[in-house]
Amino acid sequence: MAVYTEVSFEELETLLEQYDIGTPMSFKGIAEGIENSNFYLQTDRGAFILTLYEKRVAAEDLPFFLGLMEHLAKAGVHCPLPVKTRDGQSLVSLNLRNAAIVTFLTGIALRRPDVAHCAAGGAALAGLHKAGEGFALKRANALGPVGWRPLAESIHGANTIEDGLDALINGSLEDITAAWPHDLPSGVIHADFFPDNILFVGDAVGGVIDFYFACNDFYVYDLATMLNSWCFELDGSYNITKGQAVISAYRAARPLSEAEIAALPVLMRGAALRFLLTRTYDWLNQDPNAMVRVKDPREYSKKLRFHNKVKHAREYGL
């Protein structure tokens, strides 16, 4: 978590000439997100985040991400709203990077959300799914089943991380892709609905951030990612009370079909595999200049092993 591309005040001043958001009062690089360079900007008119998009975010995806935030914000989701230049542009260029300014959201990400937070988060996820309806742009999920095999094939030396990790990855990949559903309710999903990306103000969700994995996919896959990242305790056990809180709050806002309920176990496995794959790859291919602490893949191998024994969605709190 770091700033990859520096921005001087002089460069900021030149940039702000394109906007109508006031005079800068404070400007600091913030350690947020692993993909981009982010700066906290306070002006006499409000607080904002300036993001410079680094190479891991494809330029052709930016209209989707920025347009989605605008669509969701207009539909009432507490998410960053891209600020437009006087010429009506959300996307600008700064220091050879694509860049955007979005509104700053108050609230704090929790490392260990409790049951009340889980319920609020589940309701927020369903609200996001409903708010995304009608958004015109589409983006395929690059980290869905189609993306897993090339990612798995690019991993060499998984067993140096953990005995049997290679077999776990490749065996699960075969089983999960074979069992993957083809027809479930779909739409815009966040695809990275981890506690890191949900800002709480007390027990209420004050903001959802980091839409840079958002795409079109099964809604219940997003729910599976959320259950994976919110409902396990530090000792590796699944907290079914938290799972019930997430699922029942989600269902109260967006009912789940029988097909979605039946598919939940394989989607839980798929979501765990997706994070296991990217973490394993990043662990084995650490860039000393990346200034990022790589997350431990074993958190997700443990979760995947848990899911591989689950028979029914009831075991997740449904």
Which residues contact its own copies by CB under 8 A? 1-3, 8-10, 12, 24-32, 40, 42, 106-112, 201, 288, 291-292
Beta-bridge partners for 204:
201
Compute the least distance from the CB of residue 313 to its own copies, in Å.
Answer: 30
CB of 26 to its own copies, least distance (A): 5
> Between the CA of residue 80 and those of 67, 152, 260, 288, what are the distances in Å?
11, 33, 30, 31
Which residue number, 103 or 186, has a Cβ lying nearer to its own copies? 103
Residue 24 or 185: which CB sits closer to its own copies?
24
CB of 297 vs its own copies, minimal distance in Å: 18
What span, in angstroms and rounded, lies between the C-alpha atoms of 176 and 308?
10
Helix (H, G, I), strand (E, B) or coil at 172: helix
Question: Can you tell me whether residue 93 is helix, strand or coil?
Answer: strand
Closest contact distance (angstroms) between CB of 37 and its own copies is: 9
CB of 282 to its own copies, least distance (A): 15
Q: Which one, 88 or 288, has the nearer CB to its own copies?
A: 288
The total number of residues written for the chain in this structure:
318
By beta-carbon proximity to its own copies, the closer residue of 162 and 196 is 196
CB-wise, 25 or 167, nearer to its own copies?
Answer: 25
Measured between its terminal Cα atoms, the distance across the chain in Å is 35
Between CA 50 and CA 218 the distance in angstroms is 31
Q: Is 24 helix (H, G, I), strand (E, B) or coil?
A: strand
CA–centroid distance for 84 within its chain: 24
